[in-house]
Amino acid sequence: PPNGPFQECIVTAFGRDTTRYAFPQDLLFGLTDQRPYNLDAAWTPAAIVYPHSAIEISTSVSCAYEYGVAVQARSGGHSYRGFGLGGQDGSLVVDLRFLKDFSYNSATQQVTFGSGSLLMDLDRQLAAIDRVMAYGVVGDIGTGGHLAIGGLGPLSRLLGLAADQVVSMQCVLGDGRIVTASNSENPDLFFAMKGAGWSFAIATQFTMQTSPAPSTVTSYQFNITAGTIGGLADSFKAWQKLVADPDLSRYFASTFVLTVDLAIYSGTFFGDEETFNRLNLGLSLFDGIIGISIVSRVVTTVIHEVIDIVQDLFGQIPQHFYSKSLKYTRNTLLSDSAVDTLFQYIDQTPKGVLIWFIVWDLNGGAIADIRQDATAYWNRDALFFQQSYVSDPLLPISPTSYDFLNGINALAKQLRPGSDDSAYPGYVDHLLPDPLTAYWGGNVPRLKQIKGKYDPANTFRNPQSI
């Protein structure tokens, strides 16, 4: 039975159909409904609802609005700090899993789909029509959060952020109104929803522009081992020099990963292996580096059969983890001696966990063609992001591990004059001293103004909302 008037309102909204809502007092709530992704952020919502339409979302949000309860949506549930569970205790969680409609308009070459669709759903649906869009590689990420935060993927250097391909979206506002956001309708809400969505509305449906699929794609992975950290540092210098080339092909996507005794250079090239090698993107990149050995795998396929060689680093098994990110621009790269200093720190500092890794993920290209103040997403000047992770399947993350990651960011900032705390909003970091500026930079004043217009009651809130 419901506890109090808010839960009673939810019960009434769904006509007492108990498959459509869950409360923390329910027997199996933790197992079947709460399902935290990061076990260090296992918040307890006031209610979780499972609507089948925008109208049902509107009705349940209206209950929260009436009783002053915070609201957050959950699409894939991959938020690093559990924002899909509210980011704090006592929120209404709107689970979007039943919003999975999909249609394709062959005249406009646009797709329309529900915000509960996962990226793997889009993979399958786009393959059937031989079209592509830029978005992330982890299949069980939800489109709802991904598109509203920016969305980075292998095709982003060619096509932009996932959010840049959105033509319009249907949104439920904090008072329950259902509106369209596009360049022609509520353009200021559209601006906000493309990068800062969790503070403004729940997107229930997206319409996006697709692109023709490239005919071939080359997946590559080079596993680099070395007797000392110096060899791995030298390999990173080669990667940073490569990606800093202003003429670098936009058909090239790349990450450089450092973990225990291993570096991995991997990604995709939207072309054939011959061109990949001719552009010196292959083994020749590491010519002349002393004391390293490389095991490589390069596979050319058609686009929809791409083997994502580096699988999702977490998968769906809940872990305790912490992550930080940091922006590098063309003007704030590491000097060679700074790379040595950073890699020495990483090598010698106690980690407190067995599972840790650092990823440098190439951005640039089409992402940077759009002005920073054109959408809420601010960090378009990122040449790459540095993401660092510590993870433990059993125990909460320890102060030692927090210190290790915070130290990486502090040192990387200190070594790069002119750099700041700018971070990717999709990699939520609860320890950022000023998260709004780190995520949305110079767009924060405008976002605050839009917030006052569309969500004056601050219904859509979490610890890092506008």
pLDDT at residue 313 above 60?
Answer: no
| DSSP symbol at 37 | S
Give me the residues paired with residue 7 across strands.
none
Backbone angles phi, psi at 125, to 5 degrees: -70, -40
Task: Give Rg (Cα) of the chain.
Answer: 22
Q: What is the pLDDT of residue 305?
A: 60
pLDDT at residue 307 above 60?
Answer: no
**Hey, how many other C-beta atoms are within 10 angstroms of the C-beta on 408?**
20
Residues 6+ apart with CB under 8 A from 247: none
Place of tokens 């919502």: 45
pLDDT at residue 181 above 60?
Answer: yes
- Residues written for the chain: 466
Residues 405-418, mean pLDDT to the nearest whole number: 98
Instruction: Give the DSSP letter string of 135-193.
Output: --S-TTSBHHHHHHH----TTHHHH--TGGGEEEEEEE-TTS-EEEEESSSSHHHHHHH
pLDDT band at 316 (very low <50, low <70, confident <90, very high): low
Three-class DSSP category at 411: helix
pLDDT band at 1 (very low <50, low <70, confident <90, very high): confident
Backbone angles phi, psi at 339, to 5 degrees: -60, -45
Q: What is the pLDDT of residue 301?
A: 81
- Name the burial class of residue 288, with classes exposed (0-12), middle (13-18) and buried (19+) by CB atoms within 10 angstroms of its CB: exposed
Q: What is the pLDDT of residue 318?
A: 87
| DSSP symbol at 126 | H
Contact 410, 386 (CB under 8 A): no
Q: What is the pLDDT of residue 300?
A: 86
What is the amino acid identity at position 140? D
Quote the CA–CA distance of 232 and 239 in Å, as a whole number: 11
Contact 257, 246 (CB under 8 A): no
Residues 6+ apart with CB under 8 A from 459: 61, 64, 65, 70, 71, 174, 175
Contact 145, 162 (CB under 8 A): no
Structure tokens at 288: 């002349």
pLDDT at residue 309 above 80?
Answer: no
Quote the CA–CA distance of 172 and 131 in Å, as a whole number: 29
Place of tokens 């992770």: 389
pLDDT in tens, 49-67: 999 999 999 999 999 999 9
Q: What is the pLDDT of residue 2?
A: 87
Contact 78, 145 (CB under 8 A): yes
Q: What is the pLDDT of residue 317?
A: 77
Residues 6+ apart with CB under 8 A from 400: 350, 351, 352
Structure tokens at 157: 């250097």
pLDDT in tens, 90-112: 999 999 999 999 999 999 999 99
Residues 302-327, mean pLDDT to the nearest whole number: 71
Three-class DSSP category at 441: helix
pLDDT in tens, 373-409: 999 999 999 999 999 999 999 999 999 999 999 999 9
pLDDT in tens, 225-251: 999 999 999 999 999 999 999 999 999
Q: What is the pLDDT of residue 315?
A: 56
Quote the CA–CA distance of 134 and 142 in Å, as a whole number: 14
The percent of residues above 90 in pLDDT, for the chain, comes to 94
pLDDT at residue 422 above 70?
Answer: yes
Quote the CA–CA distance of 61 and 65 in Å, as a whole number: 6
pLDDT band at 224 (very low <50, low <70, confident <90, very high): very high
Contact 359, 136 (CB under 8 A): no
Domains in the chain: ranges and CATH: 4-95 (3.30.43.10), 102-213 (3.30.465.10), 217-301 (3.40.462.20), 320-445 (3.40.462.20)
End-to-end CA gap in the chain: 34
Quote the CA–CA distance of 9 and 365 in Å, as a whole number: 49
What is the amino acid identity at position 213? A
Q: What is the pLDDT of residue 310?
A: 45
C-alpha 454 chain-centroid distance = 24
Average model confidence (pLDDT) across the chain: 96
- Residue 142's nearest CA partner among 450, 426, 436 is 426
Taking the model in full, what pTM does it have? Answer: 0.96
Quote the CA–CA distance of 459 and 448 in Å, as a whole number: 14
Structure tokens at 108: 């406009």
Quote the CA–CA distance of 323 and 359 in Å, as a whole number: 11
Contact 36, 318 (CB under 8 A): yes
